[in-house]
Structure 1
Amino acid sequence: MEYSIENEFLRIAVRQAGAELCRIQSKVTGTDFMWNADPDIWPSYAPVLFPVIGAIKNGFVRYNGKDYAVPRHGIVRNNPEVKLIEQTESSLTFGLKSSTETLEIYPFEFDFEITYRLDAHKFLQSYKVANSGEEQMLFSLGGHPAFKCPVHEGEDYTDYYLEFEAIENDSTWLLTKDGLVGNETKKIFDNTNTLHLDHHLFDNDALIFKHLVSKQVSLRSTKSAQVATVRFGDFPYLGIWAKPNGNFVCIEPWLGIADSADSDQNFETKEGILKLAAGELFTASFSIEIHE
């Protein structure tokens, strides 16, 4: 089931399963900006990442002496137990609560909510994580929206580029064949704020950035005027990814990161892990803005 909201500029739709954003459409031109989730290439639109991001070493984390097989990207993605909590003219809120089933693979009690809220040419994707248990909770959190690229007929993938708000000199952390973050880096930026897209850019999987100056990045074309801008001030990590044969690019704000290749698999020592006291609430958000 899908739910949609719209204003005079944008229409967005969200799948109930996994609370997954599945459409960003201009009301002015009818242009679609999201990847179509082609099952032969990559059958997703914008997975919600909680309580882990990316791969887990050997498929499990260890907490208090017990192993938990948390799935890649966590337990919200594609989960049919996610429910619509509230719909207004300008917002959709979905939620997932811990259960007997989640406690078998993730050892904390929680109340997770995600809200999509329209505001003129942009929408805010906001997260709330409440620790409903009696002990400190450990988690990560992130987005994974896939933007259509190219957007218009007559354009090529290589006509597109990412424009960052600041001059960058960061490197990507190379991933192992198991999707773990290795110890080697590769220079991506050399005193520039642009990253030109090419399918070979992702031959070795995602680009993983830990030390960007920018908190804003825009997807632009050299042949058309539309701009999609992601602002991610609450998120210290950023992933950029596509399938090498996929006409899309994912811009992924993360609070947390995949396991490192040399991880000891203890949840408490996982890089980027967030800690939330019993009864406390954590919030974070990023926005996507469309201009044509």
Structure 2
Amino acid sequence: MKVAVMGAGAVGCYYGGMLARAGHEVVLIARPQHVEAIRRDGLRMETRSFDEPVRLAASSEPEAVQGADLVLFCVKSTDTESAGAQIRPLLSADALVLCLQNGVDNADRLRAVLPGTAVAAAVVYVATEMAGPGHVRHHGRGELVIEPAGHGNNSSQAVAQAFIAAGVPTELSDNVRGALWAKLILNCAYNAVSAIAQLPYGQTVQGVGIQDVMRDVVAECLAVAKAEGVQVQGDAHAAVEKLAASMPSQYSSTAQDLARGKRSEIDYLNGLIVKRGEALGVATPANRVLWALVKLLEGKAR
């Protein structure tokens, strides 16, 4: 496949790099400092099983999506509409756009911007970070859950097979909405706490009272999901308890954003739970406190 990664940060570089390593033609659309390093040295992929440079194309211009069979859409949730509008006139008629983003509504928002384009939501379970220009570090996991979309060689099924062949565990699901909510609950439990403390998951859960706070956050999220009519996949409380053990050294994306003085996606995580709770008459005090504190720190950083 010809693959373009729109918004190639840690997540986009990891999945784009895995596809490139498997022989697909990949271009990363990223910030200039990453583009320069990748063009010079390749993308350094530091994972648990290998550490090597991967040769692929890189650009800082959205025009690089032209001709792509598959677009991995990895921009921040705050930029979904604007980035979608940038690539809209450039997409091939049969391209599949796969949303590899945090939050539960990005695919719906993107479909509104890209009418007539096949857009598929995906749930991403991976711990990654950009360790430097053109250097992605993988801390663990990497599974994808994708909803059916598209046709033929550019269908979700074909894309899933390509990911599996590239060493990325991938499955198709008719209940991606439920899986996205399950991921959202994990993010609501961990992201803000990791960001406020600037600590990795393994250390945050050892804080006095933190696991009780996380249980309160999860309970509120489940109450909002139930009011929304969402069937959340799996046992959310058990998943939250297990996450720190599977990614003990991982800092949340929100923590990484705050450390770099960048705007985070907190409005689409705990903030979304607060907003939907207000609309549905569900109290969300724990989520509200975490959301408000992260917003305060964002303002301080700016």
TM-score normalised by L of structure 1: 0.23
TM-score by length of 2: 0.22
Instruction: Specify which structure has the higher proportion of strand.
Output: 1
Larger % of helix: which? Answer: 2
